[in-house]
Copies of this chain bind each other. A is one copy, B any other.
Amino acid sequence: MKVYGDSISGNCLKVKYVAGHLGLPYEWIETSVLKGETRTAEFLAINPAGQVPFVDFGEGRILAQSNAIMRYLARGSDLIPDDPWLAAKMDEWLFWEQYSHEPAVAVLRFKIKFQRVPLSDIDPILIKKGNAVLDLMERHLTENEWMVGDRVSLADVALKAYSQFAEDANLSLESRPNIRRWLSGIGKVLMS
């Protein structure tokens, strides 16, 4: 399979983490968002949504949306709980990540680190949202080792994607020891 991704994008790294952990062979096609490579006519012809990551499985089968890609690649693996209730709680976090976490933390990081927007020009509401989602995770991880159940699942991989870059978004990990402990734990599991 061919993975079109931008190495600076947490959403794209999700695909790399899952494929790597499961030992799935793939070709990585570096596609830079900053250079406008997701907005060319050629790219839009393959993926009208104009987003990375997306995966080309051949024979016209292409799949976009990082969490949908992870869910497909990881089907039947230890990254998706067998128990339907735990799988539902995993899905809950996956949708929360895309609806609430990514639009705050990833967008802040993009503006501050890559677009170099001065902090004084950043919308305070976005900063408040970024802190709120990390606070919610910190509370959850104070009482739970992982986001769902007693092992690493796609919920952890999805939320690692941008939580690990929180400092780039001017959001503190120093004050959130449980997120730091959890990030370190996921890293070890994904490598094993």
Contact = CB atoms under 8 A, between A and B. Distances in A.
Contacts of A49: 96, 100, 136
Interface residues of A, number: 30
A160 to B, nearest CB: 17
Given A98-B98, A136-B48, A136-B49, A91 B67 contact: yes
A153 to B, nearest CB: 13
A125 to B, nearest CB: 14
Contacts of A114: none
Contacts of A66: 95
A151 interface: no
A25 B69 CA distance: 33
Contacts of A92: 63-65, 68
Copies of this chain present: 2
Contacts of A71: 88, 91
Contacts of A68: 88, 91-92, 94-95
Contacts of A91: 65, 67-68, 71-72
Nearest to A90: B68
A89 to B, nearest CB: 7
B84 A72 contact: yes
A139 interface: yes
Interface of A: 48-49, 61, 63-69, 71-72, 75, 84-85, 87-89, 91-92, 94-96, 98-100, 102-103, 136, 139
20 contacts: A49-B96, A49-B100, A49-B136, A63-B92, A64-B92, A64-B96, A65-B91, A65-B92, A65-B95, A65-B96, A67-B91, A67-B95, A68-B88, A71-B88, A71-B91, A72-B85, A72-B87, A75-B84, A98-B98, A99-B102
